[in-house]
Structure 1
C-alpha cells in the first residue's frame, strides 16, 4: 500500500515538476502511517500503534503540515495513556496543543477516544517545550520494549504512606508545568451502573505530574480506599471505615480526563491532600470518587451528573462519573468550555448506555 502512495506521488511529481509538491512527498507516507495507527488505536492494539507512531516521530523533521504533527502527538497521548504512562501522555497532549492547527477528536461509534481543542488565549499560556522530542522518543522506545506492560490483568494496588505523595513533589527543582489526570474504572465499562450486582463498585483515582525545567518529572498515581481487614467489609449497612491511600500506578481504567493546571491550583491540590488524605472513608459521603472529584474541582474541572443511587445509599460513584466523561458532560472552568481538556477511553468494545 505504501509503495502505491509513493508511485502515485512520483508520477504526479514528474508531471508537475514543482518544488512545492516535492516537499509533500515525505508527508504522504507519514499520513498513511498515522491512518494505520488510527486503526490500531480503534481496535485496542496499543503496541502496534506505538511502533507505528515511533517511526513517525523519528521522521517528524520532514513534516511540513502542522496538522500532521498535531495528529501524531494526539495519537501518542492516547496510546501512552493506555500504557498508564500519564507523564508522557500529558506531555504529548501538551505538544499537540502547542500546534496552531487543531486535531480535535476521533470517535468509534458514540465513544470519544480523545478530545483536544485550544483557543488563542489558552495557546498563549503554553509556549515552552514541556518535554523535548529526544527524551520523548526515548520514553516511547522504552515503552515499546516493555511489551509486558500491555496487559489486561489487574495488578493489586499496594498501600503507601500518605505523606509520600506531597513529599515527592517537594524535590527542590524548578517546575515549568503541572498536570492532573482523573481516572475512572467503571463497574461495567460504558454503562451507568453503581455496581455490578456482585459487589464490584469500580474506582476513581488521580495522577499528579510535575514537569521540571531540567526535563525531569515527578508523578504520583494514587487512590482513596477503605482500610482492609475489618471483620465486616464496608457495605451500605456499615458504610464507614478508616481510610488508606494506595499506589494506583498500574490500576486499570476506562475513562480519563486530564488538564494542565497552574502552580496555584497544584499547590491547592497538595494542600488539600495534606489535610484530608486521612479522612474517614464513607461509602455514601466520602468515598474514592468524592476524594478524586474534589481534586478535579480544585483544578477547575467541572463534571456533571456524578451522583447515583444504590440500596440504602447514594453518592458520587465511578459508574456515573465515567459515563459523564464518556458523554462529554464536563467543562474546563478556566476556559468556560471543554478547551484545554484531554479525554481518552480505554475500553472500546462495550456499548455506550445512558
Structure 2
C-alpha cells in the first residue's frame, strides 16, 4: 500500500510539472538576425502598450543625390526606425554613405532627430556601442542638464587630459578625449561595412554558456577609458503583455550589456545573462526553485524593451563586483532569477524599474513580463539624474 501511495504521489508531481513552466528563465530559445559584428544598446521612447503599431518598412531606401534634400533624407532614416525584430543593416549602410549625412547633422534640430532614430536602429541591430554613441548626441546641453549629469555621463578626472575635469555635458562635448564617443569613427565604419553580410534567419538558437572571465577580463584591456555604459534588456514571454509564462517553458529573459569606450576610439562590449544550471529535470521549476547558476552569452538574444545610460567609472567597477558575487550564487526561481540579476545591476547603475513582481503556480517574484511592461508604461526612474535614460522598444504587436 505504501509503495502504491508513493507511486501515486510521484505521478501527481510529474503531472503538475507539465502544467506549469518547467524551465523558468532557462536556456531561452530566441530568434535573431545573424550579425557579424560585436554586440553592443537602446533609445528614449516610452509608449503605452496599447498604442504600439508596427510601421510599414519603405522598400526603396536608396536616394538620388540630384533630387533629394535634408528633410527627405531624414524621413528615409525615420522609415527605418520600426518595430518587428526583422531588421536589416544594409539600407542603413546605404543611407550613411550618402553625401546628405553632413547636411542633416549640421542642422541642430535635424541632427537631434537623426541621432534619435539612429540610436533606435543600431540598438535593434544589436550594435549597442553605436546606439549609445548616437544617444549621447541627443542629450540637451544646458546648465540645468549639466547639474544632473555629473555622475551618469561624467568621466573620472584621471582620464581627462591636461587636468581638465569633464564634470558637465558641455565640457564632455568639447573635450578632445571623447571625440571617439561623439562621432562615428573608422572602427564603426568597418562594423557597418561588415553588416553587408547581414542575413536574417528564423532558426532557433540558444545562448551559449560563458565564463565569468569572458565577461570581466576583456574590460581590463590596458587602455584608457573615455566612457562607460550599461543597458538592461528584457524579452517578455508575450511581447507587450504582463503574461508571466506561456505553455511549458516560455517565460522570457532579462540580460545586461556593458560597454567601455576607449580614448583610441575602440570599445569593449559584452552582453550576458544569469541562468540556472540544471541539476535534474525539475531544477529551476516551481517544484524545485533552487539550483546552480551559470552565465550565458546573450549578444544575439532577442528583446522587447531596453533601458540604458552612461555611468561613471566608480559605478562601472561596482557593477563588476556585483557580477563576481553572482558567480558564487545559486539560481532561485522566486528570489534570485535572471530578472533579479538584471535589476540588481541596473539599480547599481542608477536605473529603477517599478512593479516588476508577479506570481505563478507555487511561487512569485520578479519576472521579464512585469519588468518589460513597466518599461512600456514609463514606470522607469533615473535614480541619480534628471536626464540620461535611453529607452527603446522592439515589440511585436
State the TM-score, normalizing by the size of structure 1.
0.79
Q: What CA distance in whole angstroms lies between the structure 2 residues aligned with 1:242 and 1:296?
A: 23
Q: How many residues align?
A: 307
Using the TM superposition, give the Cα deviation of residue 308 of structure 1 relative to its aligned residue in structure 2, in angstroms. 0.7
Higher relative contact order (CA 8 A, sep 6+): 2
Query: Which of 32, 40, 44 does residue 72 from structure 2 map onto?
Result: 32
Normalising by structure 2, we get a TM-score of 0.71
Tell me by how many angstroms 1:153 deviates.
4.1
1:139 paired with 2:191, answer yes
The answer to whether the 8 Å contact 1:255/1:343 transfers is yes
Q: Report the counterpart of residue 192 of structure 1 in structure 2.
A: 242
Cα deviation per residue 1:172-194 (whole Å; 9 max; x = unaligned)? 11100000110001000000111
Deviations 1:92-137 (A, max 9, x none): 211232x659xxxxxxxxxxxxxxxx92433336423315333233
* 2-structure distance, mates of 1:303, 1:247: 23
Q: Which runs of 4+ in 1 moved over 6 A?
A: 1-7
Q: Superposed, which structure 2 residues align to 1:10-29 within 5 Å?
A: 29=69
- Name the counterpart of 1:273: 323
Contact 1:160 1:246 in 2 (8 A): yes
Contact in 1 for aligned 2:258/2:269 (Cα 8 Å): yes
Which residue of structure 1 aligns with residue 145 of structure 2?
119
Residue 112 of structure 1 corresponds to none
Asked if 1:221 is matched to 2:271, the reply is yes
User: Does structure 1 retain, via aligned residues, the 8 Å contact 2:70–2:103?
Assistant: no
Structure 2 counterparts to residues 121-270 of structure 1, below 5 A: 121=147, 122=149, 123-124=169-170, 126-127=172-173, 128-129=178-179, 130=181, 132-135=183-186, 136-143=188-195, 145-148=196-199, 150-228=200-278, 230-270=280-320
C-alpha contact 2:136 2:182 (8 A) present in aligned 1: no
- Give 1:40 deviation, angstroms: 3.0
Aligned-pair CA distance for 1:3: 10
Could you tell me how far apart the structure 2 residues matched to 1:260 and 1:171 are? 20
Match of 2:109 in 1: 67
SS in 1 for 2:81: helix
Give unpaired runs (5+ residues) of structure 2: 1-59, 150-168
Tell me how far apart the structure 2 counterparts of residues 138 and 319 of structure 1 sit (CA, whole Å).
36
Decide whether the 8 Å contact of 2:69 with 2:100 is kept in 1: no
Q: Post-superposition shift, 1:281?
A: 0.3
